[in-house]
Chains A and B, each alone.
Chain A
Amino acid sequence: MSHFREALGRFKDAVNQEGERSQIPSLDRILSRDHRAKVPRLRWAAAAAVVLMLAAIPTYENVQRQREIEQEKADTLLMQQVNAGLARSVPRAMAPLVDWAPSEAGQ
């Protein structure tokens, strides 16, 4: 038991001695860490922003492509409607008469 206490005491003295021997930095030097710590943080923030931008590019391109496809579909539909309109033999307003005329002739 006394051997253990002695060992603990020696350990404490050795650690204390090492603490006393360490060089105490000035407050200015400690405070300069604050500035140095901010620089990597800014770098990390910039890097994160670049990564986010790079990640957003495919999404942006997908959205653009989707819009183009929808626009193409709308254009095609409109063209079909226009073509259908041009292909009429009679104006739309006269169409019921045309429908009616053959059945009349058939009688």
Chain B
Amino acid sequence: MESVATSREIASMEDRAAAIADFDSVVRLYWPRIFRFALASLRDRDAAQTVAQDCFLKAYRGRDRFRGDASLLTWLMQITVNLVRDNARSRRFQFWKRASSSSIDGEATREWIPDAGIDPERRILVQEQVDAVWTATGRLPERQRTVFLLRYVEEMELLEIAAVTGLKEGAVKVHLYRALRSVRAQVGRLR
């Protein structure tokens, strides 16, 4: 009897070890996407790091509840969108943290442009473009920004965005249209 319990324990430990090992690869695979979405949403490196870590922590804790109806990325994005929303809400009350050193303005995004193969003149143009879109997305209302980033940075389909945000497909279209119109108007002023 004792040997059965022991072998069960071993099997359970092995399962857990396998799950942890798998989850490690889940983190490696999806971290860049989750982090960049949080970064573009919150515009603060530390906050994005925290949200991304919390996302994987929540997913790890709730991995038994993942039913596989949606893709793993959709599930992780759902968690991230909720965490971003909570983080943004709590930061509204922490006004002293707004000017933290980890917050990113348009200037800081200039470091994100790859050096390779771009001549200085072209580089300035690219920097201006990135800066303009960054600034424009920063002015969007939270929901519009989320939908915009999921569509144009994460390249998700409308139905996927609806699943991630909990909105109806029609509502996603409306938010996307408004966001696009607003960003286009601001980027258009560049020319």
Residues of A within 8 A of B (CB): 3-4, 6-8, 10-20, 22, 24-27, 29-31, 33-34
The answer to whether A3 and B191 have CB atoms under 8 Å apart is yes
The secondary-structure label for the interface of chain A is helix
List residues 59-75 of chain B with CB under 8 A from any CB of chain A: 60-61
From DSSP, what is the main secondary structure of chain B's interface residues? helix
Please indicate the chain B residues that have their CB under 8 angstroms from the CB of A24 in the complex.
27-28, 31-32
Task: Specify which chain A residues have a CB less than 8 angstroms from the CB of B53 in the assembled complex.
Answer: 25, 29-30, 33
- Beyond A12-B153, A33-B53, 16 additional pairs, beta carbon < 8 A: A7-B129, A7-B132, A7-B133, A7-B190, A10-B113, A12-B152, A14-B130, A15-B36, A15-B39, A15-B112, A16-B32, A18-B112, A20-B32, A24-B28, A25-B31, A34-B61
User: Do B60 and A14 touch (CB < 8 A)?
Assistant: no
- A3 / chain B contacts, CB cutoff of 8 Å: 187-188, 191
List the B side residues contacting A20 at CB < 8 Å: 32
Complex CA distance for A4 and B181, rounded to whole angstroms:
11
Interchain nearest-CB distance for A6 vs B (Å)? 7
User: Roughly how many angstroms separate A33 CA and B61 CA in the complex, as a whole number?
Assistant: 12
